[in-house]
């Protein structure tokens, strides 16, 4: 699966991760990171394209400022720029200055959350909200005028002789006058249902002449129950803050339907409703429903705030049609299907061992990428003096990775052999990015451990991440490992060097828990492609008669799939495309799912529906454990979906826990201490609260109760308390890290 163009990855990592990387960025202070710069350049170009000829009306700086505030969200940026600079409403209240980027994460400035919602501080109006409120106010004034006009017409029809007298003397005039005042006061920003204004009850006490429903309902939009009076939805709470102990906001702060005043070109660009629109449409529907019952309500009290809130919440779900399910028996479909078996493997090893280069070369030799692409990459790499990294750039696609010459995050790619569809998970080797390596290992069936055979390089790798990676992948449940002894071209393919490395590595792999039958060694040159897809033709390596790396991959059996278990998938990416406002990707850990299914997102506890899905990038009606999927979701607000969350079967959901018991293998001394808990893409802060017992490594029986400390290499039962509620369940594997070091790994009990 290639890397998706994520407009905005909603990621826990940035909030919770405490590993000590990004030195350069910290030094740079408020400078944009190179990744941000790339996103900014791409976003600016996209916004300019979306604006078309109107693009000349805004400066690049204005575009960049808006992009920054909207987290590179093109739609929101275009909306804001159009309403602010291209088609501003006639009467715009003086907008407050845009919030400055004052919050920082990892030294990077981040926009204040107020603009996009979520702040616990008193809600402030953004420019966009102000503009929206002004438009709302204008619309209300207009509708009040229309109401007056229509009622005048009706009055004219009702009057027998003198229209003006009828207006003054009719009992309706009083009520009408009051109602008009209500409308007018609403236009001034007051809520028609607040005690200061004539209440519905007061109005009902006014003498009324008989008048049809239409006559009253059409011109009386102000008599509907105001959603502002209800408890706000979670979306509204995020946008405006929770109002329980704050004074009621003025009506002008309401957020009207967006895009109302836009030019047709812009309307086209937003032809599908955004999730926000769905909520607003639902609220509008409540208002309409209220209008239809305006007359009966004049005689009795309106619905309670809670009832309206309930209605709004209910409408949010019902408003978007649910995707249709084919009600397939997925497991029998899977058995019938003639799909190739699927396997994912993670590529690990010390920094610069040649992992990405090897995978780039493998893809080139398999014809997944062509020579022209590599040539182009070579030219680009040459420009920054990194020609030797051209093949690595096939996988390392981020500008920061290319500039620094290191892999930072897991890069994925796919290829197929006659029997198997493989997914490559190319992990970073640098110690700063071990959390990302853990994420890759958690999705893998087996691993390639790459070792640099160069003089001195193998030895420094052993002191570095070679052993740590091997230990981690074993702890994550990987039992099959192919050791690629790489860069043998730099030592003239010396068999002695190969044997020496094989001897040492097989020693520590067996102490780490890898069985000899599951461990194989291949001498390779990733750069030149020797023994990857084809056997080396170099006479210097004629001593090797074993299998190529590809043959070893083909001979590896993927893990048994937990097909019959309840559906579980850890979200690796959250993104959106033009067709799908919210998509997630990941590898199904357990169970199966199909189009139309309801799924639960944990820890938010929000339900969503599977609108459509892709398995290994091809559309499919269903998917099973072990497959890499993209799921296009409907009926959920993106704010409830984050990288690292788990989507699961709503009937058998994964629980969210605040503490758990772990059977842990200690890599370092363990005692009551702060730790970071890693499971796949999920990172959470926690602490070892207690150590219940030391356990026998083989039998698992208790050897000592309540020890004060656990020494490296020992197995213990420990209790970990988390700072947040996290979706975890028995049988899952987690890694504990502290101060940037891996201190333990184990199985949840």
Binding site for ligand GTP (CB under 6 A): 349, 351-357, 388-389, 392, 406-407, 428-430, 486-487, 489-490, 525-527
Q: Residue with the closest Cβ to ligand GTP?
A: 429
Whole-Å CA distances, 45 to 52, 64, 84, 266: 11, 10, 19, 16
Query: Are 313 and 285 a contacting pair, CB within 8 Å?
Result: no
* Lookup: tokens for 571: 């979200």
* Lookup: tokens for 76: 């929101």
Residue 256 vs 440, nearer CB to ligand GTP: 440
Distance CA 346, CA 444 (A): 6
Residue 396 vs 676, nearer CB to ligand GTP: 396
Residue 20 vs 335, nearer CB to ligand GTP: 20
Minimum separation from the CB atom of position 374 to ligand GTP (A): 12
Minimum separation from the CB atom of position 502 to ligand GTP (A): 17
Distance CA 125, CA 253 (A): 7
Query: Are 748 and 730 a contacting pair, CB within 8 Å?
Result: yes
Residue 441 vs 688, nearer CB to ligand GTP: 441
Residue 218 vs 491, nearer CB to ligand GTP: 491
Residue 504 vs 528, nearer CB to ligand GTP: 528
Strand pairing of 741-748 and 656-666? antiparallel
Residue 81 vs 348, nearer CB to ligand GTP: 348
Three state DSSP letters for 635-695: CCCHHHCCECCEEECCCCCCCEEEEEEEEEEECCCECCCEEEEEECCEEEEEEEEEEEEEE
Query: Are 319 and 252 a contacting pair, CB within 8 Å?
Result: no
* Lookup: tokens for 423: 């997914």
Distance CA 357, CA 360 (A): 5
Minimum separation from the CB atom of position 433 to ligand GTP (A): 8
Residue 99 vs 354, nearer CB to ligand GTP: 354
Minimum separation from the CB atom of position 464 to ligand GTP (A): 10
Report the SS3 class of residue 136. Answer: helix
Distance CA 462, CA 483 (A): 14
Minimum separation from the CB atom of position 438 to ligand GTP (A): 15
Three state DSSP letters for 470-538: HHHHHHCCCCEEEEEEECHHHHCCCHHHHHHHHHHHHHHHHHHCCCHHHEEEEECECCCCECCCECCCC
* Lookup: tokens for 563: 């097909």
Query: Are 583 and 556 a contacting pair, CB within 8 Å?
Result: no
* Lookup: tokens for 321: 């049609």
The owner of tokens 């406002």 is 581
Minimum separation from the CB atom of position 526 to ligand GTP (A): 4
Residue 42 vs 490, nearer CB to ligand GTP: 490
Minimum separation from the CB atom of position 613 to ligand GTP (A): 31
Residue 344 vs 536, nearer CB to ligand GTP: 536
* Lookup: tokens for 73: 């969200």
Minimum separation from the CB atom of position 538 to ligand GTP (A): 12
Report the SS3 class of residue 336. Answer: helix
Of the candidates 29, 16, 26, 22, the residue with the CA atom closest to the CA atom of residue 432: 22
Length of the chain: 749
Phi then psi for 192, rounded to 5 degrees? -65, -15
Minimum separation from the CB atom of position 467 to ligand GTP (A): 15
Minimum separation from the CB atom of position 387 to ligand GTP (A): 8
Residue 464 vs 746, nearer CB to ligand GTP: 464
The residues that bridge with 687 in the sheet, in sequence order, are 674, 721
The owner of tokens 């590595």 is 505
Minimum separation from the CB atom of position 453 to ligand GTP (A): 9
Of the candidates 259, 4, 13, 73, the residue with the CA atom closest to the CA atom of residue 638: 73
Minimum separation from the CB atom of position 108 to ligand GTP (A): 22
Distance CA 223, CA 206 (A): 14
Residue 525 vs 620, nearer CB to ligand GTP: 525
Distance CA 478, CA 499 (A): 24
Minimum separation from the CB atom of position 477 to ligand GTP (A): 23
Residue 126 vs 407, nearer CB to ligand GTP: 407
Minimum separation from the CB atom of position 490 to ligand GTP (A): 5
Report the SS3 class of residue 520. Answer: strand
The residues that bridge with 604 in the sheet, in sequence order, are none
Residue 230 vs 453, nearer CB to ligand GTP: 453
Phi then psi for 88, rounded to 5 degrees? -70, 145
Q: Is the peptide bond before 603 cis (omega within 30 degrees of 0)?
A: yes
Contact partners, residue 124, CB within 8 Å, separation at least 6: 96, 99, 114
Distance CA 310, CA 286 (A): 10
Residue 356 vs 570, nearer CB to ligand GTP: 356
Of the candidates 512, 229, 143, the residue with the CA atom closest to the CA atom of residue 348: 512
Minimum separation from the CB atom of position 36 to ligand GTP (A): 21
Residue 501 vs 527, nearer CB to ligand GTP: 527
Residue 524 vs 695, nearer CB to ligand GTP: 524
Minimum separation from the CB atom of position 409 to ligand GTP (A): 10
Phi then psi for 409, rounded to 5 degrees? -120, 165
Minimum separation from the CB atom of position 233 to ligand GTP (A): 45
Output the DSSP codes for 525-572.
Answer: BTTTTBTTTB----GGGTT--S--HHHHHHTPPPPPPBTTSPPEEE--
């Amino acid at each position: 699966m290639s890397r998706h163009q994520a407009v905005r990855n909603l990621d826990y990592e940035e909030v919770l991760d405490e590993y000590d990387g990004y030195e350069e960025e910290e030094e740079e202070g408020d400078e944009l990171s190179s990744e941000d710069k790339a996103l900014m350049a791409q976003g600016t170009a996209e916004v300019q394209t979306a604006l078309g000829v109107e693009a000349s009306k805004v400066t690049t700086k204005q575009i960049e400022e808006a992009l920054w505030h909207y987290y590179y969200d093109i739609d929101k940026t275009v909306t804001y720029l159009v309403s602010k600079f291209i088609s501003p409403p006639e009467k715009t209240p003086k907008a407050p200055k845009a919030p400055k980027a004052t919050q920082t994460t990892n030294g990077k400035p981040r926009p204040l959350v107020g603009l996009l919602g979520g702040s616990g501080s008193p809600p402030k109006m953004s420019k966009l909200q102000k503009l929206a409120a002004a438009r709302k106010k204008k619309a209300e004034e207009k509708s009040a005028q229309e109401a007056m006009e229509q009622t005048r017409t009706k009055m004219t029809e009702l009057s027998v002789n003198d229209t003006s007298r009828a207006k003054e003397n009719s009992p309706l005039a009083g009520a009408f006058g009051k109602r008009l005042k209500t409308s007018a006061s609403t236009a001034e920003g007051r809520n028609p249902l607040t005690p200061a204004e004539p209440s519905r009850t007061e109005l009902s006490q006014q003498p009324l002449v008989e008048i049809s429903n239409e006559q009253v309902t059409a011109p009386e939009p102000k008599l509907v129950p105001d959603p502002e009076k209800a408890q706000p939805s979670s979306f509204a709470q995020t946008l405006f803050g929770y109002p329980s102990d704050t004074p009621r906001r003025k009506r002008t702060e309401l957020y009207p339907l967006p895009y109302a005043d836009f030019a047709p070109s812009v309307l086209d660009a937003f032809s599908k409703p955004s999730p926000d629109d769905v909520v607003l449409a639902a609220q509008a529907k409540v208002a309409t429903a209220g209008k239809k019952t305006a007359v009966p309500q004049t005689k009795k009290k309106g619905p309670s705030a809670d009832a309206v809130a309930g209605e709004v919440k209910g409408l949010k779900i019902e408003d978007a049609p649910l995707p249709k399910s084919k009600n397939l028996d997925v497991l029998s479909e899977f058995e019938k299907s003639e799909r190739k078996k699927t396997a994912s493997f993670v590529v690990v090893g010390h920094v610069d061992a040649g992992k990405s280069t090897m995978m780039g070369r493998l893809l080139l030799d398999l014809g997944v990428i062509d020579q022209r692409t590599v040539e182009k990459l070579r030219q680009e790499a040459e420009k920054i003096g990194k020609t030797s990294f051209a093949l690595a750039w096939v996988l390392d696609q981020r500008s920061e990775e290319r500039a620094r010459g290191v892999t930072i995050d897991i890069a994925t790619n796919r290829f197929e052999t006659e029997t198997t569809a493989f997914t490559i998970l190319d992990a970073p080797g640098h110690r700063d990015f071990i959390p990302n390596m853990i994420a890759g290992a958690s999705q893998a069936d087996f691993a390639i451990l790459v070792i640099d055979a160069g003089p001195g390089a193998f030895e420094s790798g052993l002191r570095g991440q070679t052993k740590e990676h091997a230990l981690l992948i074993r702890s994550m449940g990987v039992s099959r490992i192919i050791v690629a002894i790489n860069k043998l071209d730099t030592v003239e393919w010396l068999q002695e060097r190969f044997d020496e490395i094989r001897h040492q590595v097989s020693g520590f792999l067996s102490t780490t828990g890898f069985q000899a039958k599951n461990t194989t060694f291949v001498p390779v040159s990733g750069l030149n492609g020797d023994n990857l897809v084809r056997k080396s033709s170099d006479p210097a390596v004629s001593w090797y008669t074993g299998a190529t790396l590809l043959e070893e991959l083909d001979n590896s059996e993927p893990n048994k799939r937990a097909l019959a278990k309840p559906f579980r998938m850890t979200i690796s990416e959250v993104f959106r495309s033009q067709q799908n406002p919210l998509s997630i990707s990941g590898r199904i850990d357990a169970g199966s799912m199909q189009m139309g299914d309801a799924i639960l997102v944990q820890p938010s506890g929000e339900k969503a529906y599977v609108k459509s899905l892709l398995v290994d990038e091809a559309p499919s009606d269903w998917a099973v454990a072990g497959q890499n999927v993209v799921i296009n979701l409907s009926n959920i607000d993106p704010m409830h979906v984050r990288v690292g969350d788990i989507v699961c079967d709503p009937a058998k959901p994964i629980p969210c826990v605040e503490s758990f018991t772990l059977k842990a293998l200690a890599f370092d001394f363990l005692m009551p201490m702060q730790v970071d808990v890693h499971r796949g893409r999920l990172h959470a802060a926690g602490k070892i609260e207690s150590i219940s017992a030391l356990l026998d490594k083989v039998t698992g029986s208790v050897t000592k109760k309540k020890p004060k400390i656990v020494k490296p290499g020992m197995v213990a039962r420990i209790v970990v308390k988390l700072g947040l509620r996290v979706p975890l369940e028995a049988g899952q594997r987690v890694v504990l890290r502290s101060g940037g070091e891996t201190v333990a790994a184990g199985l949840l009990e």
